[in-house]
Amino acid sequence: MNLARTPDPEKLELCRKYFIGGFFLLPFLWFINVIWFFREAFIRPAFDQQKQIRSYLIRSFIGSTIWTTALVAWITIFQLKRAEWGETADRISFIIPKGMP
């Protein structure tokens, strides 16, 4: 999709849809939203929908940052404590390591 050819109201609607989509356990959409619309919200000269797009982008960035931080924290804790958690960790593991014979 070429954003340069898209009218401003359609850009706002697409930005809003990506923002809402992030709430359905798709936080990657928030990251994509920030990447796609950063120039429209912060660099391009002012236009009518810019304030709303900027608001969606700021909230998308915050949401994406929170999700990324939580995911990294969970992965780190799980990797460090997996052996201590025993059977509980095995039940929530996708791949169970075999260990030494």
Q: Please state the φ and ψ torsions of residue 88, each to the nearest 5 degrees.
A: -60, -45
Domain assignments of the chain as residue spans, ordered by start: 7-92
**Rounded to two decimals, what is the model's pTM?**
0.82
- Judge whether 31 and 21 are in contact, CB under 8 Å: no
Token pair in block for residue 87: 């059977």
Farthest-apart Cα atoms in the chain, separation: 67
pLDDT in tens, 43-95: 999 999 999 999 999 999 999 999 999 999 999 999 999 889 988 988 888 87
